[in-house]
Amino acid sequence: MTSTVGPPPYYENSGFQPENVYSARQPVGANPYAQYYSTSAPSVPSYVPRVDTRQSTRPVAPSPVRTRASNVKKILIIIISILIVICCAIAAFFIWYFVQSGCLNSLIECGSSGVCVTASQWCDGVNDCPNGEDETRCVRLFGPNFTLEVYSPVSKSWYPVCQDDWNDDYGKIACKDMGYSVDTYYYSRGIVTEVSSKIYMKINTSAGNADLYKKLYASDSCTSGNVVSLRCIECGLSTKSVSAMNRIVGGSVATLGQWPWQVSLHVQGTHVCGGSIITPQWIVTAAHCVEGQLSEAYRWSVYAGILNQNKMVLGKGYQVQLVISHPDYDTDSKDNDVALMKLETPLSFNDSVRPVCLPNPGMMFQPNEECWISGWGAEYQGGKTSNNLNYAMVPLIEYSTCNSVSIYNGMVLPTMICAGKLVGGVDSCQGDSGGPLVTKKNSVWWLVGDTSWGTGCASPNRPGVYGNMTVFTDWIYKNMQANR
């Protein structure tokens, strides 16, 4: 958290660098962890070696006598060459046709791999696609009411699940397919659908012990009139209320249980970045926090439910088992700035340690919507990290406004979202990277973004830029499912 107090140097807010471990913040694109790499290697001049070559002149051979046989041979070669060219052209046409057309009407394409499978192979419990797309695109939660939807490979559409004959056993299977543990299952219940649907997915109770998705069929009727609302984990609950602050002066100090999903990520006993709890074993943070050698899981310790950094030094953090950075993360632009950490042992949830809710497809966060940031970042531009967890309210900023010439001039990509006050004074800063940007809707807290970058801290017309979590939820679920 930050205020405008302090010296006014210009620098890029692209990740926290503790003053006793890392160098000062560097511009976007620079390596924030340069100390991990050797710079003492001697420079090597670049040149193109010159090699003297000897040119020899081949003796001129007498012209051969042309015969009829040689003419026939030449004609045959020409004919064969023409046939080869024609065959290649035909082959190229068919390759182009099938690439343009994709799979045949009766088949479904597996992502971008070009592999095609039948509709019956989709969601049948067997991975038929190279990357398992046929089994990871079967179920999703839609909208702020967690409406359960199932994908129909036949119509290539998502349909809500009718509550008729649905029970918790089916709900647990659906949650497991999204990467959640059965241990965190919360509930399935019927709700009145907000958007009327002409097609529902229903359970065929006479299908016996068949796989869940083989029991589902499309229907134009739903007797109960209700669709399934599925909660795979009790998320987004805070035991403490928050009050809006118009301006941060040294940050508003958080109380225990206020932001229970906030974690501190340490390397060698020093706070480096923030993160957000989404399940007992999974943490969301920023990809720029885990670049280079910091992508190695053994380097990290995670602290949850502790507000004071000094107390963390005395305790033992949770060890990280796996670090997964988004494969399309770009160091220079900070595109796709998101990463996951899987803990070796699961967190124990209580009033001060709880998960935040991932946004569901169909959710829209509007400009000027109140969001909240939290972290142990510097309290003023260029300052030291805070010993206490601080928080602040920042409104969302419209995408086109943030990308205008006077602000970030096109640097904000679709995988990013802006929040802050254009007059300055309230912002995230060094040490807040990877931490949560959240908002409250339908009585639960949602993870809108992860702290990514910005120019300076709390400067006018330089708001904070965050990873847009609505873009990343599919990627998160896929990795949770693949690394259970």
Give me the active site residues, please: 288, 337, 433
Q: How far apart are CA 174 and CA 191, in angstroms?
A: 17
**Residue of 383, 388, 432 lying closest to 1 (CA atoms):** 432
Whole-angstrom CA distances from 82 to 71, 76, 86, 182 are 17, 10, 6, 65
**Residue of 178, 170, 135, 138 lying closest to 156 (CA atoms):** 138
Can you tell me whether residue 213 is helix, strand or coil? helix
Q: Supply φ then ψ for residue 252, to 5 degrees.
A: -90, 120
One DSSP character per residue, 290-332 reads G-GGGG-GGGEEEEES--BHHHHHHS--EEEEEEEE-TT--TT
Q: How far apart are CA 367 and CA 398, in angstroms?
A: 5
**Residue of 388, 393, 470 lying closest to 428 (CA atoms):** 393
- Chain mean position to CA 349: 24
- Chain mean position to CA 389: 25
| CA torsion through residues 189, 195, 197, 201, sign | negative
Burial of 481 (0-12, 13-18, 19+ CB in 10 A): middle
| CA torsion through residues 455, 398, 371, 235, sign | negative
| Tokens at 237, concatenated | 């609950």
**In this structure, are residues 158 and 149 in contact, taking their beta carbons and an 8 Å threshold?**
yes
**In this structure, are residues 182 and 173 in contact, taking their beta carbons and an 8 Å threshold?**
no
Q: What is the Cα gyration radius of the chain?
A: 29
